Structure formats: C-alpha cells, structure tokens
Amino acid sequence: EIVLTQSPGTLSLSPGERATLSCRASQGVPSPYFAWYQQKPGQAPRLVIFGISIRATGIPDRFSGSGSGTDYSLTISRLEPEDFAVYYCEQYGASPRTFGQGTKVEIK
Amino acid sequence: EVQLVESGGGLAQPGGSLRISCSASGFIFSSHKMAWIRQAPGKGLEWVSVIFTDGTAIYADSVKGRFSMSRDNARNTVYLQMNSLRVDDTAIYYCAREYSGFDFWGQGTRVTASS
C-alpha cells in the first residue's frame, strides 16, 4: 500500500498569502494518478485537482498542483476566505487507493 | 446536475448488519465506477470499496470479507451491505463517482456501531 504523508499538519496564514501544501508518497505513484480534495466542516470533500495538475470544474486558477514520483504539492497563490479548510491528497494509481491524513489551512 | 444521495445509515450493534444505499442522478450511471469512502469522527478519509461498470467490486483490507458492494443500473443505485460490524466501522460513509479522482460526492450517511 502506498502511504501518503502530508505536511504541515496545520498551516496558519492570512487572507492574501500564498499556501503551499506538501504530500510525500512511500513509493512512486503511477503517473498521473494524483488528486487533491478540499473539505470544509460538515461538508463532503470536493475535488480540487486531478491528474496531478488539472483543476476540477469550477476551481479557480489560484489553485495549482504539481509533482512527480513521490513528491507532490498544492499551491494556493492568494488565499481567499473560502479557501480555509482541510485539504487531502490522494493517489489513485495503485490499489488500494489511499489518502493523506490532511492539512488544515487556518486563518492566522 | 449530478446528484448522489445516500440513505440507510443508523445505529447497529457490534456484530450486526446494516445496508446503506446511494441513489444517483444527472449522469449515465451505468458508465461509471462508483465508490464508498468513509470518515471516522474527527479523522481523515478512508477508501472502502469501488464497483466497476461490470459489477466487479474490490475492497479495502479493513472491510474485506465483511462488506459487499453492489449496483442496480436500472435503479441508478449502489449499495453497501455491511456485516459483522465493528466499533471501528463507525463513520460517515460517502458515496462518490469515480472519474479521474472522485469528482462528485454525496452528503454522506452516518453509521454507528455501538452497544
């Protein structure tokens, strides 16, 4: 099983700042099967990025994804109030599909 | 508009059974893989199972042999039959469509295994 480790656990930033979230896999993820999700309290997760770097429908261009092999990142160029949430990475190239433990982006 | 609506959650005793459902609309259901993902209270996401368009299902090791996923294309519905429930199966269970990631999710149904 591919284990995904996200860092940091919590990111405290102000609106307008840049957020960079990391996700490291225990072994290489078959390309390009990597995704990021956003989850707000009391809501279901929402797909943000798939295929490493492709924004899902309706996701603004301040969100970008990158990476390869074992190291991936999600960048939010300028945080808006609605971006404060928990973000999960996921690999869907190998079975079982696995998620990271989440990074909480909170208002500083 | 794609919609996924879960139902059937509730309280069951450890060792008991429960069947949850997910009704889909707004897309060609029979052409898509569907999945169940769960989230224990205060925890992260855990993939549970996926069912392919041919009806074949695969499972996480944590539920293999106890849970069974099925689909009814005529009713646009997937099911998760959960047997031999354990306390650590307590979670919100989300149904999701699988297409380059899980691109649509339901609102979830809460399952509690407790005596």
DSSP code per residue over chain A: ---EEEE-SEEEE-TTS-EEEEEEESSPPPTT-EEEEEE-TTS--EEEEETTTEEPTT--TTEEEEEETTEEEEEESS--GGG-SEEEEEE-SSSSPEE---EEEEE-
pLDDT digits (tens, 9 = 90+) for A10-53: 999 999 999 999 999 999 999 999 999 999 999 999 999 999 99
CA distance A74 to B111: 32
Residue identified by tokens 């971006």 is A83
Name which of A108, A57, A58, A65 is nearest A88 in CA terms: A65
Nearest to B101 among A44, A47, A100 (CB): A47
Question: Measuring CA to CA, which residue among A39, A78, A95 is closest to residue B35?
Answer: A95
Residue ranges of chain B whose CB lies within 8 Å of a chain A CB? 37, 44-47, 50, 58, 60-61, 94, 98, 100-108
The mean pLDDT of chain B is 97
AA identity, residue B84: S
Sort out which chain B residues have CB atoms less than 8 A from A90's CB and list them.
Answer: 45, 101-102
Per cent of chain A over pLDDT 90 is: 100
B11-64 pLDDT per residue, tens:
999 999 999 999 999 999 999 999 999 999 999 999 999 999 999 999 999 999
**Taking CB atoms and an 8 Å limit, are A88 and B45 in contact across chains?**
yes
